């Protein structure tokens, strides 16, 4: 199963990329790094530059049809940049319209808010997104992980790096249902 990991050219919280990425590999599936520009992405440890990772596919040159699921890592700058890129927002929206599962952690739900896919859903995130999610018609909860099975697409959300273990377990379980 191919799983898209969508991120901006810089600003992703490295552990929110690398832990889910490794979990996907360990499950026998194929993670694919998708970004808004070719080349590489610059990850961060909070506000400090960390490693760079090669972009494998570019939004606008690939589609949700090519993947069985989508993972949206956080970091403050990453989803803020993604929500300003209409091609990235459309890519995310397509997963929901096609009923493909999506997982988002930390600040990543900002991109979901921009894609207008949180209305009627229950989700969690970094606490500072609470009002944005509510204003977009979603219900915010303070839980390690939240699985919302509202049609047409399952959404798995989590709050922060400390929740990565349960986040990975939950989204892998939901994504496996696509087999």
Give the pair of three-digit tokens for residue 60. Answer: 């606008």
- Unique residue bearing structure tokens 């694919």: 32
By C-alpha distance, which of 145, 6, 118 is closest to 64? 6
- Here the CATH number for the domain that contains residue 110 is 3.40.50.880
Which residues, given as ranges, of the chain have pLDDT below 70? none
Q: Taking the chain, what is the end-to-end CA distance rounded to the nearest angstrom?
A: 8
pLDDT at 151: 84
pLDDT at 179: 76
pLDDT at 54: 98
pLDDT tens, residue by residue, 60-96: 999 999 999 999 999 999 999 999 999 999 999 999 9
Catalytic residue positions?
Answer: 106-107
Q: How many CB atoms lie within 10 A of CB 67?
A: 25
Length of the chain: 179
* Domain span at 55: 2-177
Q: How many domains does the chain have?
A: 1
pTM (global) more than 0.85: yes
């Amino acid at each position: 199963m191919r799983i898209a990991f969508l991120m901006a050219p810089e600003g992703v919280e490295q552990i929110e990329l690398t832990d889910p990425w490794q979990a996907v590999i360990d499950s026998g599936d194929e993670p694919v790094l998708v970004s808004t520009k070719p080349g590489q992405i610059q990850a961060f440890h909070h506000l400090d530059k960390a490693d760079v990772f090669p972009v494998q596919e570019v939004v606008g040159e690939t589609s949700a049809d090519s993947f069985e699921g989508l993972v949206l890592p956080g970091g403050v700058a990453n989803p803020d940049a993604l929500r300003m890129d209409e091609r990235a927002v459309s890519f995310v929206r397509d997963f929901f319209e096609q009923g493909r599962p999506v997982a988002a952690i930390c600040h990543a739900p900002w991109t979901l808010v921009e894609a207008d896919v949180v209305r009627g859903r229950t989700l969690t995130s970094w606490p500072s997104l609470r009002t944005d999610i509510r204003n977009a018609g979603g219900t915010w909860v303070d839980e390690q992980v939240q699985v919302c099975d509202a049609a047409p697409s399952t959404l798995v959300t989590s709050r922060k790096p400390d929740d990565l273990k349960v986040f990975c377990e939950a989204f892998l379980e939901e994504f496996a249902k696509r087999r």
